[in-house]
Chain A
Amino acid sequence: MAGKPIAGTGSAGGADRDAQDAAPAAAAERYGPLELRRMRKEDGRMLIVYEHREQTSSE
């Protein structure tokens, strides 16, 4: 599953008001069985997306 950033989503105020789209993701890194992408939200906070990636015999 590859999550894709949603651009231009509206904010509903309240708890959602300050939710921000993330900056474009850096190159994917590997960590054990995971692939991870480090991002920065527009307010500067770190966000990391982890996805399972099956190990292959060549890895």
Chain B
Amino acid sequence: MSETRFNELRGEPVVYAIHRQERTFLPDRDHCPLDATRPGGPATEIPLAQFEIVVFENRFPAFQAPHGAAEVVVYTDDHDSSLGALPLERIEDLMWVWRDRYEELRARADVEYVYIFENRGVEVGVTLHHPHGQIYGYPFLPPVAALEQAADARLGECAVCALLRRELDSGRLLLENQDVAVYVPEAARWPYEAHIAMREHRRSLLECEPRELRLLAEALRALVRGYDALFDRPLPYVMAVHQAPTGATDGAPAEGHLHIEFYPPLRTADKLKFLAGSEQGAGTFISDVLPEDAAERLRDAIARAR
């Protein structure tokens, strides 16, 4: 069981999940716990000979009932695939899986915030290469979600709606369709950070029409494929799906605006952007890449990857 303490100087919770030290770490190709279980082979986490998408409770959870949730979302039984390499239909199905999990977890009294994410690449701490994401059900409102709510209050409206209006007329738009826009934000913290936002104000996947989920999947696929074309290598990233908090708000639905943020840690094909003195000790990102330049390079990469 994890323990949560409050760091007064930072004004943020810190979770101690010491059992996670024992989690499986970069197993060899033949012992991936996220592979299908092959007849005659060792049992994996998934007792099926083949599968499309599977979700299960993490064996090494950062959170677990009655104090939250930690789930693993396996995108495919193809160990060597990736989110961007999946057929569009599978990514669209993944949107529905995310939607289903959000709907179920938001109903739990011990979950205040449902956070869907993917860590890709050893550069961001991946311990299993098989294509997968995770879902944390936080038993509290995490700081980033609280900051987005503070941005809403500061701007006097939904911050994502307000920023999206600016981005549509900027030189940082990467692609758009009827329901979704993809852009490098004006004040990106990571060199090739990009955001995918629903054009209409949708608090969560639950408010999206099927067509919006399909077009979200299209945009997601195009961006991730573009990322891999950027430096002609699988690009490591953290993918963060932000939706409305699910905790009690005196009966009113919590505000939020469904969008997906990508934080790739590379600043060149072989150089990492490290979180060092200024970022860690002063909370100020120093970036080597202007968002407008990043957007131009990413647009080219997305066009090459189509």
Query: Does residue B106 face the partner (Cβ distance < 8 Å to A)?
Result: no
Q: Are B55 and A16 in contact (CB under 8 A)?
A: no
Residues in B whose Cβ lies below 8 Å from that of A34? 93, 96-97, 100
Contact code string B26-45 (vs A, CB < 8 Å = 1, else 0): 01000101001111111111
Which of A9, A31, A52 is within 8 Å of B42, CB to CB? Answer: A9
Does B143 make an interface contact (CB < 8 A)? no
CA distance A56 to B37 in the complex (A): 32
Bitwise interface map of A from 1 to 30 toward B, beta carbon under 8 Å scored 1, else 0: 101111001111011101111100000000
Q: How far is the CA of A31 from the CA of B39 in the complex (A)?
A: 30
CB–CB A33/B24 < 8 A = no
Given contacts A34-B96, A45-B56, contact A16 B47 (CB under 8 A): no
Return the CB mask of A21-56 against B: 1 if under 8 Å, else 0: 110000000011110100001000111111110000
Other-chain contact of B48, A3, A16, A32 (Cβ < 8 Å) = A3
CA–CA, A12 and B53, complex, Å: 24
Query: A15-B31, A50-B54 known; A9 and B99 CB under 8 Å?
Result: no
State the CA gap A51–B76 with chains docked (Å): 11
B52 interface residue (CB < 8 Å to A): yes
Given A4-B49, A33-B93, does the pair A16, B44 have CB atoms closer than 8 Å?
yes
CA distance A12 to B50 in the complex (A): 19
From B24, B46, B50, B92, A15 is in contact (CB under 8 Å) with B24
Tell me the complex Cα distance, A47–B59, Å: 11
Which residues of the other chain, B, contact A19 by a CB distance below 8 angstroms? 33, 37, 42-45, 47
B47, B71, B90: the one within 8 Å of A21 (CB): B47
B49 pairs with A48, CB closer than 8 A: no
Q: Which residues of B contact A (CB under 8 A)?
A: 24, 27, 31, 33, 36-57, 59, 71, 89-90, 92-93, 96-97, 99-100, 210, 213
Q: 18 A-B contacts, Cβ less than 8 Å apart?
A: A1-B50, A1-B51, A3-B50, A6-B47, A9-B42, A12-B31, A14-B31, A15-B27, A16-B43, A21-B47, A33-B93, A34-B100, A41-B47, A46-B56, A47-B57, A49-B51, A50-B93, A52-B52
